[in-house]
Structure 1
Amino acid sequence: MSSSWQGGQGDVLRSFADSLRRHEIKVGVYISPADENQYLHGVYANGSARSRRAIPTPVEGDDRAGDAAVRSFTLDATDYGAHMLNQLYEVLTEYGPIDEVWFDGAQGRIPPEKVETYDWDSWYAVIRALAPNATVAVRGPDVRWVGNEGGLARENEWSVVPVKDSGNGSIDYALKYDAPDQGSREALAEARAVAQYVQWWPAECDVSIRPGWFYHEDEQPKSVEQLTDIWFRSVGRNSVLLLNIPPDKRGLLPEADVARLREFRERIGLELPEDFARGVRVRADGRRPAYAVDGDPDTAWACPAPSRGTLTVDLGKAREADRIRLGEDIRRGQQLEHAVIEARVPGSSGWSLVAEVDTVGASRVLTLPAPVRAREWRLRVTGSRGAVRLAEFGLYRSRM
């Protein structure tokens, strides 16, 4: 209302949400808990106790008054927590459906002796009620921050990690957020003293296409090579990639960034151009081996038992491969702890080791140092927590 934009009548979130839906893109909102304006107004970090609050909180002239269709809640919150609840209520009822709510846990630039304990339990409750299909990300129970802003996952990224409640129902890391290992057996043992349980909490890798999160005319987007490296070290390591594209002063995505996105998409297509293991002959122990090469993420080869299982792929003729893509059926969890990939290389006796892998999860992409030419390939599971269900075994020859 105080802005000169559209004469004080503009609604930037409405314009944003409507534009995304016109282009069939899901709508997410980043609502930072730290609010320095509310600190200046005496609401944020004012030391108020949690008490029962009516949400939405009626205000003078509220056009929702007396509307029987308006859903209401009574939730525990501080003064600021109630402000956030009302803001969440407005966003989730006036602009929905909202597909993701993205929090951080920052405290803002307030005096060091001032602290606001966030009402996570109440915030989560109102989101689950008003946007039941929304992902609550980063400082939320559905997706966690990988621990850096470079877009880089760990070499072995586990989706099941030890967690603790750090106050008011907050889902928090049991180990340090940037610990080099969050989910191996060793990490789980290390966390036993502080962890309350383990949580399915997959990692999200956030990074900006530019040096910073906001648009500056003197900055340029990352190169295709940089973005491709990030992709392999995020999506290729069982993580979600969140690539920030900051709008310019027109409210549009800069032409240079849009052009770079197209180049980036073309590059990934060249890195993984054709899965020539798709639909080929396979044999294996366990059940339904053909499901590993049918291209359907909802079907999977089931290994016969934990730490056992061999899948052999026959391409029909010798083919060169330098990229291997694997994926587990994560509806059954993330189970694989070690596997070897081998090939019958012409001119050698028996099977030759091509690669080893300690985690897979939803998506794991392995890049070989040099192309390997073979007709028969196989994957042997040699370590796992439960029987592995492999939904994808793909072989590619990059065109780079």
Structure 2
Amino acid sequence: MHQDLPLGIFSGGHGISGRSLNNGGIVIAVDALDTIEMLDDSRIRLGPGAVWIDVARTLAGHGRALTSGDAGTVGVGGLATAGGIGWFVREHGLTIDHLRSVEVVTADGELVRASADENPDLFWAMRGAGANFGVAVSFEFDTDPIGAEVGFALLVYYPDDIASFLQDWGAAIENAHPSVTGTLMISPADRRTAVQALIAVDSDDPDTIIERLQPFGGLAPLASQSVRLTPYTALLVPPPGTDTQHGLGEPHGHSALARHLDPELARALAELLASDAPFILSIRSAGGATADVSPDATAYGWRDANFLVVTLGGGTADFEKRWKQLLPHTKGMYLSFETDTGPEVLARAFPAPHLERLRKLKARWDPTGLFRDNFPIDPS
């Protein structure tokens, strides 16, 4: 007897949204498909259950890397079908920009290969909206060369004016060398707002690293600063006790993409930080080489966004009101950090022409809507 049950797809087990799991339904766990295999000097085959720290360690032995988020415990499957904004996104683009083929079990149970030459429409959809189209069981990626070490800076600012600081930070990132990628971490719980900046520089030359970090030194009063050389793999290892995410839907998360940290968005972010709720605000670099790919090349279409804005926590009425007031100053949304659902959220996830094309492809590849656990696209 056919039963209409929730269906989740579980890969590495890190997913913040919790949509990989469900109560009373079916979960397809692909975490055992954790293959990591070098195919030649630059190409690698990965299973969806492999985690990115293991991928990075394997590639490091070959002098290669694949930009892939900033947490090594994330599974390949979820990130490689959503986008992939990693430490070297400005230099090398998104993770999906390195994908050359993917094997997918479709709604009718067929195993198909999608690439630029085979099922190209499915390949387009899998790079940004993959959770709607099947269970990815194998990926092939091209990788990039990397040195034994890279530069990493940790700066702690105490800005006098947070909105002005955010504008200056945004300008500094946009004008930085492509090898530079930065993330801000801000918590409004502090009596005086402290801003933690994490900056990676893809170089092993100390003089080059210091030169490329210079624009960031004078943005605001510094409470502390450190700069070191470290293996790229070390950037993916979370501090002890901080990685407690197991795909259960906590904490509550929001995301938005923005072309610039312009005065309107900066003021809205400052207002958000004045909320009555405890939360963490993260502002991550995007842009750079991401924009070298045509917006129409993949289902992920926000190629001109230079920043990813993420909140973890919040959830109060005051917080939600301030978040909604911020949205008109943004452009699009990144799927992996958003826990809200609904048509209005889906409309922010994809540009309108992309969503129209995705609906037509959904009608072809999954007409009954079997895969609907993660931002479901209605084929009608």
State the TM-score, normalizing by the size of structure 1. Answer: 0.25
Structure with greater proportional strand content:
1
By relative contact order (CA 8 Å, sep 6+), the higher-ranking structure is 2
Structure with greater proportional helix content:
2
For the pair shown, the structure with the greater C-alpha radius of gyration is 1
